[in-house]
Chain A
Amino acid sequence: MFKSSTKNLSLLRNFIEEKAEAFGFDESSINQIILSVDEACTNIIKHAHKYNEKENIEVDIDSNKNQFIIKLSYKGQAFDPNNISSPDMKEYFNKFKVGGLGVPIMKKFMNKIEFSHLNPDMNSLTLIKNL
Chain B
Amino acid sequence: MEEFSIKTKQNDDISILELEGYLDAHTSVELEKCFEKIISEKKFKIIVNFEKLSYISSAGLGVFMAFIESARNNAGDIKLCAMSDKIYNIFDMLGFPILFEIYKEEKTAIEKFS
Question: Is A89 a contact of B94 with CB atoms below 8 Å?
Answer: yes
**Interchain CA distance A101-B93 in the complex, whole Å:** 11
Question: Is B95 a contact of A93 with CB atoms below 8 Å?
Answer: yes
Inter-chain contact total with CB atoms closer than 8 Å: 66
* Chain A, Cβ-Cβ closest to B93: A108
- Size of interface on B: residues with Cβ below 8 Å to A: 24
Main secondary structure of the interface of B (DSSP, over half): helix
Main secondary structure of the interface of A (DSSP, over half): helix
**Which stretch of A5-13, A56-64, A75-83 is in the interface?**
A5-13
8 Å CB contact of A102 from B58, B65, B68:
B58
- Chain A interfacial positions (CB closer than 8 Å to B): 6-7, 9-11, 13-14, 31, 35, 38-39, 42, 45-46, 89-90, 92-93, 96-99, 101-102, 104-105, 108
